[in-house]
């Protein structure tokens, strides 16, 4: 009667994910369709709404959303129609909020929200979360130094800005925790072990969220302003930034144009 996972066939499009959502196997599209037919429009709408709300709530802390969690907390018995409901939720988020759901980890099915719209001119007046400033410093450093830096370089640079690991910073508190734990969990940074080091040393690289959320071109622009330099003089990074720009989807209009 209902679609049982054990009887589900795996097509070439189905993805193996035994680790995280180990009991959830991807049904085929025909199975999804059959599952959808069994639901009323009201049920589908309700689940879509719940999923949208769930994603928005999770986005508050900028922690990525896992598919396993979605299935467990939102979809529950509707788990075989996950893809359909997810598609509708994505559509709604795009059309109503201008948010884009990006799968940053295709293997484990982890999603984040980014803004479809470019930050509008004049929005600089409003917010200003100091953590963003700190993150900017670290991301710029990593980017301009070839994409990987040893953690020592980051700590030394921050120390010169009066952000000392050993002391509690008035603005950021426990800096090490903020950088190696919070920023990493939010996927802005990656903190990887360097093999064969004694004592253990780590490297910093850009995280998956940074790759999709941060515009390298804009970073270079700002750096150019800071140094009173033409950003094109950093030719290697400039080339890389330009290729990122062209690989991304054509930029939609900014909010001010709407």
Q: Which is nearer to other proteins, 32 or 112 (CB)?
A: 112
Q: Which residues pair with 206 in a beta bridge?
A: 189
Instruction: Compute the least distance from the CB of residue 41 to other proteins, in Å.
Output: 26
185 lines the binding site for other proteins (CB under 8 A)? no
Given a contact cutoff of 8 angstroms between Cβ atoms, the answer to whether 24 and 5 are in contact is yes
Q: Could you give the string, one character per residue 26-55, with x where binding to other proteins holds by CB under 8 A and - elsewhere?
A: ------------------------------
Near other proteins by CB under 8 A, which window of 6-14, 22-30, 72-80, 226-234?
226-234
- Find the binder of other proteins among 7, 13, 60, 246 (CB under 8 A): 60
Q: Which is nearer to other proteins, 171 or 181 (CB)?
A: 171
Instruction: Compute the least distance from the CB of residue 35 to other proteins, in Å.
Output: 29
- Find the binder of other proteins among 192, 229, 243, 253 (CB under 8 A): 229
CA 61 to chain centre: 12
Distance CA 208, CA 227 (A): 28
Q: Angle at which helices 151-160 and 130-144 pack, to 10 degrees?
A: 130
Do the strands 149-150 and 189-194 form a parallel or antiparallel pair, or are they unpaired? unpaired
Distance CA 24, CA 82 (A): 10
DSSP 61-106: TTPPEEHHHHIIIIIGGGGGGHHHHHHHHHHHIIIII-EEEEEEET
From residue 16, give the alpha-carbon distance in Å to each of 11, 24, 26, 27, 109: 11, 10, 8, 11, 11
Could you tell me how many residues of this chain bind other proteins (CB under 8 A)?
Answer: 59
Residues within window 114-173 making contact with other proteins, judged by CB under 8 A: 114-119, 123-125, 127-137, 140-141, 144-146, 153, 156-157, 159-162, 171
Distance CA 144, CA 220 (A): 9
72 lines the binding site for other proteins (CB under 8 A)? no
Q: Which is nearer to other proteins, 86 or 149 (CB)?
A: 149
Q: Which is nearer to other proteins, 62 or 185 (CB)?
A: 62
Residues lying near other proteins in the complex (CB under 8 A) are found at 56-57, 59-62, 97, 99, 113-119, 123-125, 127-137, 140-141, 144-146, 153, 156-157, 159-162, 171, 212-215, 218-219, 222-223, 226-227, 229, 233-238
């Amino acid at each position: 009667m209902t679609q049982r996972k054990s009887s589900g066939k795996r097509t070439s499009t189905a993805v193996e994910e035994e680790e995280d959502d180990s009991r959830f196997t991807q049904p085929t599209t025909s199975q999804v369709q059959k599952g959808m037919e069994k639901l009323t429009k009201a049920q589908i709408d309700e689940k879509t709404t719940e999923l949208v709300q769930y994603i928005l709530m999770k986005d508050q802390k900028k922690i990525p959303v896992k598919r396993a969690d979605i299935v467990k907390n939102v979809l529950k018995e509707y788990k075989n129609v996950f893809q359909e409901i997810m598609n509708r939720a994505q559509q709604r988020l795009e059309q109503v909020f201008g948010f884009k759901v990006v799968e940053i980890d295709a293997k484990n099915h982890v999603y984040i929200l980014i803004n479809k719209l470019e930050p509008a001119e004049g929005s600089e007046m409003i917010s200003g979360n100091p953590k963003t400033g700190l993150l900017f410093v670290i991301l710029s450093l990593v980017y301009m130094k070839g994409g990987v830096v040893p953690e020592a370089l980051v700590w030394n640079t921050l120390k010169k800005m009066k952000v000392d690991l050993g002391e509690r910073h008035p603005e950021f508190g426990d800096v090490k925790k903020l950088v190696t734990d919070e920023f990493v969990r939010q996927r802005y940074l990656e903190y990887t072990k360097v093999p064969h080091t004694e004592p253990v040393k780590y490297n910093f690289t850009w995280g998956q969220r940074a790759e999709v959320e941060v515009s390298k071109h804009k970073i270079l622009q700002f750096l150019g302003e800071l140094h009173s330099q033409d950003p094109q003089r950093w030719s290697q990074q400039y080339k890389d930034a330009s290729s990122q720009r062209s690989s991304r989807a054509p930029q939609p209009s900014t909010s001010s144009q709407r």
